[in-house]
Amino acid sequence: MKTSGERLLRLIAVFKFFKAAMLIALSVGAFRLLHKDLGEVAEHWVEALRLNPGNHYVLAAFSRISRLSPAQVKHLGLGGLLYAGLFLTEGIGLWLLKPWAEWFTTILTSTLVPVEIYEIYRRPTAIRVVVLAVNVAIVAYLIYRIRTRKSGSLA
């Protein structure tokens, strides 16, 4: 029978697997765009999603997308795959209930918290706030587990 701590570690692992899957999908999408006209692709999606092409946010997105070079798109894809690999490592280690994975996840997740706070400061969204809250809760829980194990009271 699994303890609640083991179930919580597995839940955190699933969260890490989900983040890895999203980054892999985004990276594959970026690589598929390497030899395409990004302006045409963006225009297609604006039409498909029935967005107002004159909207300030749509125009800003067009402007940013049209300035991306193939090298930048490639770097975005590679960066996404790198982070996905880290998330998969965290997820697999946590799923297997490895103590090193608790340390690894604590360190990696806590290093991203300042970046998340900065992004919320720049452009606050509900999703960013929720992700920050989940990541802070994960770090706090893992620190608790590590400290409790160190004191010998965690099975």
Domains: count for the chain? 2
Please state the pTM of the whole predicted model: 0.81
**Residue 26 sits in the same domain as residue 63:** yes
pLDDT in tens, 47-69: 888 888 788 787 787 788 878 88
Confidence of residue 2 (pLDDT cuts 50, 70, 90): confident
Identify whether the C-beta of residue 111 lies closer than 8 Å to the C-beta of residue 139. Answer: no
Q: At what angle do helices 126-151 and 4-32 cross, to 10 degrees?
A: 140
Percent of all residues in the chain with a pLDDT value above 70, rounded to a whole number:
97
pLDDT in tens, 4-29: 889 999 999 999 999 999 999 999 99
**Residue 75 sits in the same domain as residue 106:** no
Structure tokens at 62: 């067009």
**Residue 116 sits in the same domain as residue 41:** no
Helix (H, G, I), strand (E, B) or coil at 3: coil
What pLDDT, on a 0 to 100 scale, did the predictor assign at position 94? 97
Indicate whether 38 pLDDT > 70.
yes
**Residue 7 sits in the same domain as residue 83:** yes
Among 59, 76, 96, give the residue marking a domain's end: 96
Confidence of residue 120 (pLDDT cuts 50, 70, 90): very high
Percent of all residues in the chain with a pLDDT value above 90, rounded to a whole number:
63
Residue 47: domain span? 1-96
pLDDT in tens, 77-88: 999 999 999 999
SS (H, E, C) 31-79: HHCCCCCHHHHHHHHHHHCCCCCCCHHHHHHHHHHHCCCHHHHHHHHHH
**Residue 39 sits in the same domain as residue 81:** yes
**Residue 117 sits in the same domain as residue 89:** no
**Residue 12 sits in the same domain as residue 28:** yes
